[in-house]
Chains A and B, each alone.
Chain A
Amino acid sequence: MEPFSTTEPEVGTGRDGYDSPSPDNIVILAQDLWKTYDMEAISVNALSGVSFSIVRGEYVAIMGPSGSGKSTLMNLIGCLDTPTSGQYWLNGRLVSELTDDELAYIRNKEIGFVFQTFNLLARASALHNVELPLIYNGTPPAERLERAEEVLRKVDLGDRMDHRPNELSGGQRQRVAVARALINNPSIILADEPTGNLDSATGDEIMNLFERLHQSGNTIVLVTHEHDIAARAHRIIHIRDGKIDRDEKVG
Chain B
Amino acid sequence: METSMTGKASVGPARRRHGELYNAWVTAREAFWIAMEALNTHKLRSFLTLLGVVIATTTLIVVMSVINGMNLYIAEHIANLGVNTFILSQYKWAQGYEAYLKARRLNRPIRMEDYKFLKEQLVGYKTMGATAEYGGRTAHYQNQEIYDTSVVGVTPSMIDIGQQKVDYGRYISESDFTHSAPVCFIGTDLVNKFFPNVDPLGKEVRVSNQSFRVIGVAEKIGTTFGQSQDNFVMIPLTTFQQYFFNRPELNISIQAWSAAQMIPLEDEVRMLMRVRRHVQYNQDDTFGINASETIMSLWQRLTGTIFAVTIGVVAVFMVVGGIVIMNIMLASVTDRTHEIGIRKSLGARRRDILTQFIIESAVMAGTGGVVGILLALLINIPVQKFVTSSVPPSAIVVGVGLSVLVGLFFGIYPANKAARLDPIEALRAE
- A residues with a Cβ closer than 8 A to B are 4-5, 7, 9-10, 27, 56-57, 75, 78, 80-81, 91-93, 100-102, 104-110, 113, 115, 119-121, 123, 132-133, 135-141, 150, 154, 180, 182, 184-185, 187, 213, 216-219
Closest partner residue, chain A, to B352 (CB atom): A136
Apart from A113-B345, A180-B346, what are 9 other A-B pairs with CB-CB below 8 Å?
Answer: A4-B5, A27-B7, A80-B427, A101-B350, A132-B343, A137-B18, A138-B18, A138-B27, A185-B8
Q: What mask results when residues 12 to 54 of chain B are scored 1 for a CB within 8 Å of chain A, else 0?
A: 0010111100110111001000000100010000000000000
The reply to whether B26 and A216 contact each other, CB–CB distance below 8 Å, is no
Closest partner residue, chain B, to A136 (CB atom): B347
- State A80–B348 Cα separation when bound (angstroms): 12
B179 within 8 A of A: no
B260 within 8 A of A: no
- State A78–B14 Cα separation when bound (angstroms): 16
The reply to whether A137 and B347 contact each other, CB–CB distance below 8 Å, is yes
The reply to whether B346 and A5 contact each other, CB–CB distance below 8 Å, is no
- State A182–B30 Cα separation when bound (angstroms): 21
The reply to whether A102 and B347 contact each other, CB–CB distance below 8 Å, is no
Q: What mask results when residues 168 to 183 of chain B are scored 1 for a CB within 8 Å of chain A, else 0?
A: 0000000000000000
B109 within 8 A of A: no
The reply to whether B7 and A9 contact each other, CB–CB distance below 8 Å, is yes
A203 nearest CB across to chain B (Å) = 21
User: How many residue pairs, one in A and one in B, have C-beta atoms under 8 Å apart?
Assistant: 125
The reply to whether B10 and A91 contact each other, CB–CB distance below 8 Å, is yes
A7 nearest CB across to chain B (Å) = 5
The reply to whether B26 and A110 contact each other, CB–CB distance below 8 Å, is no
Contacts A/B (CB < 8 Å), 19 sampled? A91-B10, A92-B11, A104-B344, A105-B14, A108-B346, A119-B342, A119-B345, A132-B343, A135-B26, A136-B347, A138-B18, A138-B23, A138-B25, A139-B17, A140-B18, A141-B26, A185-B4, A187-B7, A213-B5
The reply to whether B30 and A135 contact each other, CB–CB distance below 8 Å, is yes
B9 nearest CB across to chain A (Å) = 7
- B residues with a Cβ closer than 8 A to A are 1-11, 14, 16-19, 22-23, 25-27, 30, 37, 41, 338-339, 341-352, 423-424, 427
Q: B residues within 8 A CB of A102?
A: 14
Q: A residues within 8 A CB of B338?
A: 119
- State A57–B9 Cα separation when bound (angstroms): 11
- State A75–B425 Cα separation when bound (angstroms): 11
Q: A residues within 8 A CB of B37?
A: 123
User: Within the complex, which residue of B11, B342, B352 is in contact with A109, where a contact is CB–CB below 8 Å?
Assistant: B11
A239 nearest CB across to chain B (Å) = 18
The reply to whether A100 and B2 contact each other, CB–CB distance below 8 Å, is no
- State A138–B14 Cα separation when bound (angstroms): 14
- State A27–B8 Cα separation when bound (angstroms): 10
A184 nearest CB across to chain B (Å) = 8
Q: A residues within 8 A CB of B14?
A: 102, 105-106
- State A105–B11 Cα separation when bound (angstroms): 12
B424 nearest CB across to chain A (Å) = 5
User: Within the complex, which residue of B2, B26, B424 is in contact with A140, where a contact is CB–CB below 8 Å?
Assistant: B26
B77 nearest CB across to chain A (Å) = 56
* Given contacts A123-B37, A132-B346, A137-B23, A10 and B6 within 8 Å (CB-CB): yes
B21 nearest CB across to chain A (Å) = 9
B16 nearest CB across to chain A (Å) = 5
- State A93–B14 Cα separation when bound (angstroms): 10
The reply to whether A104 and B26 contact each other, CB–CB distance below 8 Å, is no
A120 nearest CB across to chain B (Å) = 8
B339 nearest CB across to chain A (Å) = 6
The reply to whether B17 and A187 contact each other, CB–CB distance below 8 Å, is no
Q: A residues within 8 A CB of B344?
A: 80, 104, 107
User: Within the complex, which residue of A57, A121, A138 is in contact with B7, where a contact is CB–CB below 8 Å?
Assistant: A57
User: Within the complex, which residue of A109, A139, A154, A185 is in contact with B26, where a contact is CB–CB below 8 Å?
Assistant: A139
The reply to whether A138 and B16 contact each other, CB–CB distance below 8 Å, is yes
* Given contacts A110-B11, A139-B17, A217 and B342 within 8 Å (CB-CB): no
User: Within the complex, which residue of B8, B27, B347 is in contact with A108, where a contact is CB–CB below 8 Å?
Assistant: B347
Q: A residues within 8 A CB of B17?
A: 137-139
The reply to whether A100 and B18 contact each other, CB–CB distance below 8 Å, is no
Q: B residues within 8 A CB of A80?
A: 344-345, 423-424, 427
Q: A residues within 8 A CB of B345?
A: 78, 80, 107, 113, 119
Q: B residues within 8 A CB of A5?
A: 1-2, 5-6
Q: A residues within 8 A CB of B351?
A: 101
User: Within the complex, which residue of B6, B18, B339 is in contact with A217, where a contact is CB–CB below 8 Å?
Assistant: B6
B288 nearest CB across to chain A (Å) = 70
A133 nearest CB across to chain B (Å) = 5
The reply to whether A100 and B350 contact each other, CB–CB distance below 8 Å, is yes
Closest partner residue, chain B, to A113 (CB atom): B345
B350 nearest CB across to chain A (Å) = 6
B355 nearest CB across to chain A (Å) = 11
A54 nearest CB across to chain B (Å) = 11
Q: B residues within 8 A CB of A135?
A: 26-27, 30
B29 nearest CB across to chain A (Å) = 8
Q: B residues within 8 A CB of A141?
A: 26
B423 nearest CB across to chain A (Å) = 5
User: Within the complex, which residue of A104, A139, A180 is in contact with B348, where a contact is CB–CB below 8 Å?
Assistant: A104
- State A9–B9 Cα separation when bound (angstroms): 11
Closest partner residue, chain B, to A151 (CB atom): B4
The reply to whether A218 and B11 contact each other, CB–CB distance below 8 Å, is no
The reply to whether B5 and A218 contact each other, CB–CB distance below 8 Å, is yes
Query: Chain A CB within 10 Å — which of B339, B344, B349, B351 has the most?
Result: B349
- State A194–B193 Cα separation when bound (angstroms): 91
- State A106–B423 Cα separation when bound (angstroms): 14
